[in-house]
Amino acid sequence: MGNRFTASLVALGALSAIGSTAIVTKKVEYKQGDTVLEGFLAYDDSKSGPRPGVMIIHDWNGLDGYEETRAKMLAELGYVAFAADIYGKNSRPKTQQENGQQAGKYRSDIPLFRARLQAGLDELKKQSQCDAKKTAAIGYCFGGGGVLELARSGAEVSGVVSFHGGLGSPSPAKAGEVKGKVMVVHAAQDPSVSQEQFMGYLNEMRDAKVDHQTVVYNLNVHAFTVIGGGQYNADADRRSWIAMKDFFKEIFGS
């Protein structure tokens, strides 16, 4: 997926100009409990001093070239980007069936899912380039639902952005527990999210008194940001990336 994604950026142009020689990337090993995880760090080495950090949570494929490219794009914008690993260094699914099994494991064990999410956030905050008081998390599909779980857990994060993620949770947010702001970008006719689930999410945010915003595109697809995928929509990808950048300016300041 990573090669298709990078190649398509040439045609898009509007999202980011990846390729700065100042962008440093490296694999980072860390742990949650006894499980070894391996994330991907990217930052602009030409900048000095701590800067806001953004954690990226992968889709159900697991951490791969897609999230790594998004991390580089965020680094180009001046952020410290860390693509976290939920499944584990030695758990990289290779088939659709394995994708479903891995994703289902964490969706059915929310405490474990939240612990993995928190471990990634903690690792991001440890990076010397990162301002630990200014962090956000974004996620795609499985990861989009993940960053909402991170927010529901009461994590110390300035904000989260869910791109075409799952919206429901067996442990919904309660008033006063969500510390950061929330943004959801969503396809109106996403076949993986029913209208009942969508309205349930809106009601949850209302009842929990969360500072949230939801951007809805009139599409009948799911993974509209995944370049090279059959559901990709260039307009929605571009618009949602711009919306995310504006959201970051709001939560971090210029």
Tell me the pLDDT band of 14, cut-offs 50, 70 and 90: very low
Tens-digit pLDDT profile for residues 204-222 = 999 999 999 999 999 999 9
Centre a 10 Å sphere on the Cβ of residue 17 and count the other Cβ atoms it contains: 10
Whether the per-residue pLDDT at 4 is higher than 50: the answer is: no
- Residue 15: inside a domain, yes or no? no
- Residue 135: inside a domain, yes or no? yes
- Residue 16: inside a domain, yes or no? no
SS3 240: helix
- Residue 254: inside a domain, yes or no? no
CB 100 within 8 A of CB 53: no
Q: Which of 19-28, 60-69, 92-101, 102-111 has the lowest mean pLDDT?
A: 19-28
**Structure tokens given for 17:** 């100009």
Tell me the pLDDT band of 18, cut-offs 50, 70 and 90: low
- Residue 241: inside a domain, yes or no? yes
* DSSP run (H or E) holding 153: none
Domain interval for residue 117:
2-10+22-249
pLDDT of residue 228: 87
- Residue 17: inside a domain, yes or no? no
Tens-digit pLDDT profile for residues 146-197 = 999 999 999 999 999 999 999 999 999 999 999 999 999 999 999 999 999 9
The length of the chain is 254
100: exposed, middle or buried (C-beta count within 10 Å: 0-12, 13-18, 19+)? middle
Supply the CATH number for residue 175's domain.
3.40.50.1820
Q: Which residue has the higher pLDDT, 24 or 19?
A: 24
Q: Which of 17, 63, 26, 28 is nearest to 45 (CA)?
A: 26
Number of structural domains, the chain? 1
- Residue 57: inside a domain, yes or no? yes
